[in-house]
Amino acid sequence: MSERRPVMAANWKMHHDHLAAIQAIQKLSYLLDVNDYDACDIVVCPPFTDIRPLQNLIEGDNIPLLLGAQNCHWEDNGAFTGEVAAPMLAKLNVSYVIVGHSERRQLFGETDEWVNKKARAVLKHGMSPIVCVGETLEERERGDTDDRVSSQTRAAFAGIKASEAERCVVAYEPIWAIGTGHNATPEDVNETVGAIRRVLKDLCGAVAMEMRIQYGGSVKPGNIAQLMAMPEIDGALVGGASLDPDDFARIVRYRG
């Protein structure tokens, strides 16, 4: 287990309208207690339309959950129909923004260059990017996993200073493990996360040892403890299992 403070993030993707979101967070906050919040950063990344109502709930009831978003544009404002800018999220006290999720890369054509611009915009507005990297099944079978995640990491962190990198989180999400019920073994994840950390060390220096690197891809209450037992893994980005407050609370409480 690492000494870095774990970050457990729920990626709700395109699920839960704002009423369902309020119910889910009320239930989650009922299930979690002060020891859970002391032990790790607990982040919820809902759809954009849920952020304002959840900000009201979290701040009104003093719930120590952190708000995240699933995406943003890199410009502060402008003629970009349908996009949401980083300063708009910062204004809602959003702390984390996922950038470069594989669904955005694969379904919406996001490039490494965009991911870098988004990460820098998130940092510029005082928030922390959760930078997603991960290989396809073909890349894995060809033995290209380390090369793929290394090049994605290098591209995402181009021009980011060490002082800013410290605030960044990386999520290693093998694409073939997302939403499929297939996991990489904890040992394989640990090795790949170690490779990502070596790249970060090369780019940002000693600060890489403080940076949190999560695993994502079919994380469930039943496999989180084995993953968190690995020295390189500092938390999880959880999709499907995060929609159920009971399951997400059990993941946050992986220590038992």
Binding site for ligand PGA (CB under 6 A): 11, 173, 178-179, 216-219, 237-241
Q: CB of 173: closest distance to ligand PGA in angstroms?
A: 6
Question: Which has the closest alpha carbon to 30: 256, 255, 253, 245?
Answer: 245
Torsion angle of the four alpha carbons 29, 99, 201, 182, in this order, in degrees rounded to the nearest 10: 70
From the CB of 238, what's the least distance to ligand PGA, in Å? 5
Annotated catalytic residue, options 101, 125, 139, 232? 101
| Amino acid residing at 118 | K
In this complex, which beta carbon is closest to ligand PGA, that of residue 57 or of residue 69? 69
Closer by beta carbon to ligand PGA, 29 or else 174: 174
Coil, helix or strand for 124? helix
101 catalytic? Reply is: yes
Closest to ligand PGA by CB, 24 vs 178, is 178
3-state class (DSSP) for residue 189? helix
Smallest gap from residue 219 Cβ to ligand PGA (A): 5
Q: Which residue number is nearest to ligand PGA in terms of Cβ?
A: 239
DSSP state of 5: P
Residue 204 neighbours by CB distance under 10 Å: 21
How far apart are alpha carbons 148 and 132 in whole angstroms? Answer: 12
Nearer to ligand PGA, 189 or 207 (CB): 189
Q: What's the closest the beta carbon of residue 220 comes to ligand PGA, in angstroms?
A: 8
CB of 52 to ligand PGA, least distance (A): 23
Closer residue to ligand PGA, CB minimum distance, 178 or 249: 178
Which residues, 6 or more positions from 232, have their beta carbon under 8 angstroms from its beta carbon? Answer: 2, 189, 190, 193, 194, 197, 213
Cβ burial of 79 (10 Å; 0-12, 13-18, 19+) is exposed
Instruction: Name the 3-class secondary structure at 22.
Output: helix
Query: Known catalytic residue: 73?
Result: no
**Catalytic residue numbers, as ranges:** 101, 173
